Structure 1
Amino acid sequence: MTPAINSARKAKVSHRVHQYQHDPASESYGTEAAEKLGVAADRVFKTLVVAVDGQDLAVAVVPVSGQLSMKRIARAAGGKKAAMADPTDVQRATGYVLGGVSPLGQKKRLRTFIDASAQRFDTVFVSAGRRGLEIELAPAELARLTHGTLAPLQRD
């Protein structure tokens, strides 16, 4: 049980938890999840934490098949620039280890932005708070639970 799963259960959100054997040698946690679960990479979303204008942390949830546009996440967050957040800050703010950061159940609620492509699917997969553990839920429920905003976040 993780804080991510607990938050979905507490909110009575329809979801499914998927577990797979994580390979410590894997360099792309999201791609590994898609492959091991037999799901299209467009439906598996990675959780990235960025620093907007060098200070405020924000969460970007984007497909593992794409890349986050720093310009787009900065714009969505109302800033000028964004950069990947310091790993120590990420772990401190979210309560999760890198590779297992979930947009759900974070220690400190960070502003969350979900790539608009999520709306194309009935359900999407995001980390459930541990490497090798994914939670599947409707994009609208993900946005509701995270108080997230849907926006185009991927590089063209």
Structure 2
Amino acid sequence: MAIEKVRDYFKQWNIETRILEFQTSSATVELAAKAVGCAPERIAKTLSFKLKEKCVLVVAAGDAKIDNSKFKAHFKMKAKMLSPEEVDHLVGHGIGGVCPFAVNSNVDIYLDDSLKRFDTVFPACGSSNSAIELTIEELEKYSNSSGWFDLCKDWQPVS
């Protein structure tokens, strides 16, 4: 089970006990926000895309959407989301629990600037009823990401 992979992954930093498990689904931004008790934009959703022979994950704020022109400019190809069948196989987590932790090899992780406006965010932990509250610095550290990028639209930074 993918949540156990994430729990084992987090043991190296002794934060596995911070994983939250819910009695209800947290598979969508709205459901996760309700389960956690936060605004939907603070949910760190992980979107999966096919990029030639690789899988690319973009972790973005719950209110952000991929900007196709920014994606194409950065990756030199059109954004094409993985099919539900491809997600589990290529990423290592199923739909609703995709997260940037304990993923399969050959997966690159990109953090979107839309998350930087928050002190903490809530990404999933490998299952459709889990999350963990992380600071932005912790998200960067534990996700083993390629860094921060501006790949999304439809969100406004806090002024």
Instruction: Identify which of 58, 61, 64 aligns with 2:62.
Output: 64
Q: In structure 1, what is the equivalent of residue 103 of structure 2?
A: 106
Report the more deviating stretch, 38-47 or 141-150.
Answer: 141-150
Report the more deviating stretch, 83-92 or 123-132.
Answer: 83-92
Distance 1:14 1:152 in 2: 30
SS of the residue 1:8 aligns to: helix
- Alpha-carbon RMSD: 2.3
When normalised by structure 1's length, the TM-score is 0.82
Give % identity: 25
Q: In structure 2, what is the equivalent of residue 50 of structure 1?
A: 49
Kindly state the Cα deviation for residue 150 of structure 1 after the two structures are TM-superposed: 1.0
Asked if residue 127 in structure 1 is aligned to residue 124 in structure 2, the reply is: yes
Preserved CA contact (<8 Å) 1:60 1:115: yes
Q: In structure 2, what is the equivalent of residue 96 of structure 1?
A: 93
Kindly state the Cα deviation for residue 130 of structure 1 after the two structures are TM-superposed: 0.4
**Alignment gaps of 5+ in structure 2:** 155-159
Kindly state the Cα deviation for residue 107 of structure 1 after the two structures are TM-superposed: 2.4
The superposition leaves residues 77-121 of structure 1 with CA deviations (integer Å, 9 ceiling, x where unpaired) of x32322111222221122211111111011225111111122222
**Alignment gaps of 5+ in structure 1:** none
SS of the residue 1:2 aligns to: helix
When normalised by structure 2's length, the TM-score is 0.81
Kindly state the Cα deviation for residue 13 of structure 1 after the two structures are TM-superposed: 5.3
Distance 1:145 1:75 in 2: 27
Distance 2:92 2:100 in 1: 11
Q: In structure 2, what is the equivalent of residue 21 of structure 1?
A: 23
SS of the residue 1:89 aligns to: helix
Q: In structure 1, what is the equivalent of residue 136 of structure 2?
A: 139
